A and B are shown apart, each in its own frame.
Chain A
Amino acid sequence: MEFEERADQLSPEEISTSLADGEILKKARQKLLATGAKLLIGPRGTGKTHLMRYTYSQSLLNKSAPLVLYSSFNRYLHLEPLLKKTPDALKRFHSWVLARILLSAFDYINDLSSSGDFLKDIDPIFDESKLRELVSLLERGSGVDLYESYGQYVTVDHAIKAVRSLTARFNRNRAVLLLDDAALSLSDQYLVAFFEIFRVLKVEGIAPKASVYPGTTQYGPTFHASHEVEEVPLWLSVEDPAYSTIMGDIANRRLTSDQQKVISPDILELFKYTAFGIPRVFLRLLREFFSERAGTSQSKVNKIIDQQVEFIGAEYDSIALKLKQFSSVIQIGRSFFSNAVVEISELQNKDLSKRNIVLGILQSGDRTPLADRMIRFLIEVGMLFPLQSVSHGQNRKYDRYIPHLAFLYQGGAFKEGKRNTFRGLPQLMSAVAAKHPLRREFKSLLSYRELADLKLDLPPCQKCGTQRFNDSQQFCHNCGEPLVGSSLFEECMKLPLSEVPGISEALIWRIHQDTKIRSVSDVVISQNASSELQKANYVGPRRAENIIKKVELTVEEFLS
C-alpha cells in the first residue's frame, strides 16, 4: 500500500478528510483564521502545509469565514543565483513574492470557478497570465525583459488592493493570507526581504500568517517576531496529555480498517512516540510497517525504527552539503546530540519508574552564537524539542530540550533488561516526570577538540588561497580579490544524474550513450527534456516523464 506523507501532494478531498483533531491543531486552526499576523511554527513534517491547505479549502465555501488565500514560497531558492549575478536581485525577489500573492487571489477565483476579469478592470497590473509568466521566468533565472516592463511595477499596495477587492467581491468581512514555506532558512538575505513585505501586508482587514521552522529568532532588522506577531506552535510535544489521542486520530484517518486490525495497539503506540510529534515521520513508520513482510516481531519493528533514525540523521547531515560553511558545525552538532542521547539513555535506563528524558543546558556567557546556531539546526530538523527554560537558582538558568525519542529508543533508554520492548517507551511516557532534567554545561557534552573546531568552514580566497577572517569578509586581505561564494542552487544543478535516486545504472549508461543529458541542470533547464531523453534506447514518453519527476523531486529535496 501507499499513502502520501507530503501534504503538498495531496488532493483537496484528501486534505479535508485527513486532518486530525486535537487541541493543538484546533487552536492553530483558530489562530490561522483569527485577525492579526501570526507565525505558524514547526519543523519539517509537522503538518504546516496540511493545516494551511485545510484552512484554505474549508473557508472557500464557508461564507461566514474570512477570505483565505494560500500561497507557497518553497521555490525561493530558484531565485538564489540572482544574488550572485545581479544588483537588483532583492527587488526581483520582491516582485516574485508579490506576484505569488497576487496569483493566490486568482487561484481563489479559479477554485470558485469564477472570473477574474473584474480585477483586471480595477488595475491592468492584475493580469493573471502575465503574473504566471513572470513567476515562472523568474524561477528559471530569466525574465529580465518582463521584469523591466512589468514586474518591477508590482507593489505591496497592489497586493493589498487586490485582496481588498476580493474581500468585497465575495462578501467577506476580512482576509487572511496564508504564506506557506516562509522559513527561507537557506538564504538570510531573502528571509529579511520577505519579512519586510510580511510586515507591511499587515493592514486593517488583512492578516498575514507565515509558516516557519522553530529555532529561527532573527527575521531581519525591521521585524521583531516577539512583539509584532504571535507565534503559533504546531509541533506537538510528546509530553502533551493528549499526545497519544491526537496521533491515534492521524492513524485512524489514514489507515484502512484492515490495516487497523493488522497492527497491534502496542506497536502503534510505540510508533506514535518514536515519531516524536511529527506526523510525516509517523506515516513513514506506518508505511514501512505495512510494506515489510508480514509479522510483528520485535526485530522487524526495531529495524523500522533504526531505518527512521538513519533517515532523520541523513536529513540532518545533508544540511552540511547545502550550507558548506556550516559543515563543521553540523558535524559537531551531531556528536553533541549523540553524547546527549547516550547520557540521557543511561540515566533514564537506571530508573524506569520515572520519566527522565529532558536535557538541561546551563545558560552561560561562553556559549558562542555559533553554538546557538548549532542547537538551532538540531531543532529545525526536529531532533531536539525545545522546552521552556527553567531556573535552578541565581545564574543557574537551564535551557531544556527533549532529544528525539527514536534516538533515545535506539540508545537503549527504555530497555527492560537487555531488550527493547514494544511497551517500554509508551509506559514510561505515562509515568511521572523526574523533577530535574539531566543538567549539563554546553562544553561538557563536547570534547576539547570539538569545541575548538566549532567554527565556520569558509573556502579560502580563490586566487591566493589565504584563509578568510570571517563570513562577512568580501575581499581577500592578502591579495585584495573579491571573494566569490558558491551558489547553493548551482551546486544542486551540477549534480550528475547518477546522484538522483531511483535511476538504474544501466539506464544512466544509455542516457549517456544516446543523449546530451548529463546533469540535473540538463533536465531542469532544457525546454524539452522529455524528447531528448527519449533518444536513449528503451526510453519512451512514460519513462522519460518518470525520470524528469525523479530529478524534480531530487531538486526539491535538495533545496528545501
Chain B
Amino acid sequence: MRTATEARAEPRASEIPPFQIFLDEHRTVVYRFLIAAVGSNEADDCFQETFLAALRAYPKLANGDNLRAWVLAIATRKAIDAARARSRRPEPVADIVEMLDATATMRAEECDPAGPEIEDPLWADIQALPPRQRVALVHRVLLDRPYTELAAAMGTSMDAARANVYQALKKLREAWKSRG
C-alpha cells in the first residue's frame, strides 16, 4: 500500500488556472501573432473571437498544460478563417481545438474584412500570401516557434508546416527580386 506522501510525490497534471490569469499571461503573444497574421485592423476582432472560443471550451480542458500552444492554435484557426473570409474563398478548416482535447463547439465567426493598412511593400507581400502560408510564416519567424508546435497549431504534419514556411519565404524572395 502506498502512503499519502508517495501519492503526493507523483507528477500531476497542472490545474486549470482562473481564466483571467490565463488571459493575462497569453494576451500579448496572441495579440502579437494576430497583428502579424491578419493585420492591425482585424487583430482586435480576432482577439475577441479567440478568447471567447477559449472561454467556451475552457471548463472542458483536461488540465492546464500547454495552454499557450492551445490558445495559439485557436488564434491560428481564427486568423485563417478571417483571411479566407477576406479572400472570399471560404473552405472548411480542421477543428484544431477538438484535436487538442477541448470538445466544445465553437462558432467560426467572421472577422471584419479590411484591407492592409500598412504601406511597406514587404508587408503587402506578406498580406498577399495564402492564409496558411502567412500564418505558418508568422509562427515560425515572428514567434520563433518550433515546427512541432507549429504543426500542432495548424492541425497539420511537420512536413506540411515546413513546406508552408518554405513556400512563403520563396514567394517573398521572388516578390522582392521582381521589384528590383
Query: Is chain B a partner of chain A in the same complex?
Result: no
